[in-house]
Chain A
Amino acid sequence: MSDVLLSVRKAGKHFMQGNRLHWACRDVSFDLYPGEVLAVVGESGSGKSTLLRLLAARHACDEGSVHYNVRSESGTESAAARTDTHGAGLADLAGLSEARLRWLARTDWGFVEQHARDGLRMNVSGGANIGERMMALGSRHYANLRTQALDWMERVELDTGRIDDLPATYSGGMQQRLQIARNLVTHPRLVFMDEPTTGLDVSVQARLLDLLRELVDQLNLAAVIVTHDLAVARLLAHRMLVMKDGRVVEHGLTDRVLDDPQHAYTQLLVSSVLTP
């Protein structure tokens, strides 16, 4: 599988601030391959979250483009979703219909939000959360859905006895695990993660990172992970981008960037990490 999965060329997005134009991110280019994990690292305001949203088609690019290697066939997508891509190959997200983008978001992509509340349905049980994508794809056997939900809960190390509990009764770490399970049921090839461990206790973070590493490995997931925490990048990512003020200032293999930073800003970042 040497086909590029995600291809980004000079992507940029601007916003109006007062009456000034402000480029949240600009001139970002990279290729991502199946099974590859890319970390996007920077401080708040660096543009990393905006970039993530561009990649996941939640914003449209104001400059440049994002291409994704759409699977050419699937029996379960609706007729509405099928019409606009002409077979396999890289498709410009800007040219895909909303139906197609929503279908992608529900099947071939995952998006793990920083705050679990944004990525879960808080008013239905854990089991319903995990089963939703399967139901949306036509799965209609209650016991099977339940078995699958239990299965995934085990895989993300959640207590299966909590399957009928509402997510509001879960701890923060558990909610993140639930979010992960909810996204992975359809075996997506690409997962976007926005600060997946931020806000959790340090020990909880560590266990969650271990889980993510295992899952990425087992399922051959490609992922783009936005984080300000270099340790997360070190643990999970093959390659990383360092962003500052909306631009990529450095990129490369994670170990190389962290052990031998070239750009002044990267050096600053690396040196300011507290080491135990």
Chain B
Amino acid sequence: MYVAVKGGTAAIENSWHLLARQRRGDTALPELTVSQIREQMSLAVDRVMSEGSLYDAELAALAIKQSSGDLVEAIFLLRAYRTTLPRFGYSLPIDTAKMQVMRRISATFKDVPGGQILGATYDYTQRLLDFALLADEADGSGAGSARQPDSLSAVAATVSIASHVMPRINELMAKEGLMEMPGPVAVAEPGDLTRQPLMFPADRPLRLQALARGDEGWLLALGYSSQRGYANAHPFAGEIRRGQVSVEIVPDELSFAVDIGEIEVTECQMVNQFAGNLEVAPQFTQGYGLAFGGAERKSMAMALVDRSLRARELGEDVVAPGQDEEFVLSHADSLEASGFVQHLKLPHYVDFQSELELVRKLRAAHAKQRQISKDGAVAAGLATASSGRKAA
């Protein structure tokens, strides 16, 4: 006899235990520490902070540890945590012109004031697996971790350049009138995507917020499509800079700004094909990207997509998916995408039951219809034999 299956609670608790074991892995090996992740997987941490919309490297590292390295899951953890945090104000806009630069490149000019600084980058490494990194494991002790790789000692720990000799290239071009210089938006305050739902048409501040916390893979693909002919904007990398910037707030009780700390960001300015109309002479137009930490690929992809989405305001025809604001932004959030895709794992048997009933009904009708045609054909066959006319 059938007994209704119970025990959902027990199943869930057991799944937690299994998960904890899976996350820990082989207990003969030392457990990963959150600090190790923070230090040695910094680019993963940067991505989780950017898309998690929370600058806290330690919490991001914790999220990565807790999610067994699944970054989308880690981003989810950070966002959910963010919901619980009290909000006590907005900072002043960060000034990337005053950045303590670790890396700064421009593809549009051979040389620029302040110079091109390569910094730490994978760009010019050869993508060969470095088995020396594996060698440390052989003795299983992780003893190599205390020793710095030889190459490092030859390089200064940080490169710090005085910021006044490193003006933003876009601003230099703007002085000559070559580059558009976005003016302040008419509305006093930009909308806040964490407080209000995104409605369309969305202005640029809201679009940029959505892109900043948007999934890197999605933006990368769309940015790539814009380079391959799906709405060309002929981009050049005007400037990419990475470094530390100060965060300042103006507390209610004081009338001046207070520096509350520093964050590391990567900023990308893309320079794009010039537009122009009756009032404004042709100029280069901008695409902008900003991400926490060293997330260069994200900042570049974001800048490409930002420019594509400006099609409407720059009077361009919307012809490609990457320019379709509603399409791009509705599907940019990895939490929403992952949640909805994976929700298909939830039971849907009640709805499926309804579909079963319909399909059975239709099959019965189909069978009946076939029977009728068969009978009709037989009858017609008899009629044909006698009258010689084809049945309808």
Seen from chain A, the residues whose Cβ lies within 8 Å of a Cβ on chain B are: 16, 19-21
Contacts and interface: CB of A to CB of B under 8 A. Distances in A.
What 7 pairs across the A-B complex have the smallest Cβ distances? A19-B277, A19-B276, A19-B278, A16-B277, A21-B278, A16-B315, A16-B278
8 contacts: A16-B277, A16-B278, A16-B315, A19-B276, A19-B277, A19-B278, A20-B278, A21-B278
Interface residues of B, number: 4
Interface string B258-282: 0000000000000000001110000
B15 to A, nearest CB: 44
Contacts of B276: 19
A20 B278 CA distance: 7
Interface string B154-189: 000000000000000000000000000000000000
Contacts of A20: 278
Contacts of A19: 276-278
A21 B277 CA distance: 9
Contacts of B278: 16, 19-21
Given A16-B277, A19-B276, A19-B278, 5 more contacts: A16-B278, A16-B315, A19-B277, A20-B278, A21-B278
A20 B276 CA distance: 10
Contacts of A16: 277-278, 315
A20 B277 CA distance: 8
Interface in B244-302: 276-278
A20 B279 CA distance: 10
A160 to B, nearest CB: 14
Contacts of A21: 278
Most chain-B Cβ atoms within 10 A of its Cβ — which of A16, A19, A20, A21?
A19
Nearest to A16: B277
Contacts of B277: 16, 19
A179 to B, nearest CB: 26
A211 to B, nearest CB: 27
Nearest to A21: B278
B201 to A, nearest CB: 16
A183 B144 CA distance: 80
A112 to B, nearest CB: 26
Interface in B205-244: none
B311 to A, nearest CB: 15
Interface string B304-328: 0000000000010000000000000
B9 to A, nearest CB: 47
A21 B278 CA distance: 8
B348 to A, nearest CB: 26
Nearest to A18: B276
A146 to B, nearest CB: 19
A46 B276 CA distance: 27
A14 to B, nearest CB: 11
A21 B279 CA distance: 11
Nearest to B280: A19
A11 to B, nearest CB: 22
Nearest to B277: A19
A20 B315 CA distance: 14
A20 to B, nearest CB: 8
A66 B315 CA distance: 27
B35 to A, nearest CB: 58
Contacts of B315: 16
Interface in B98-129: none
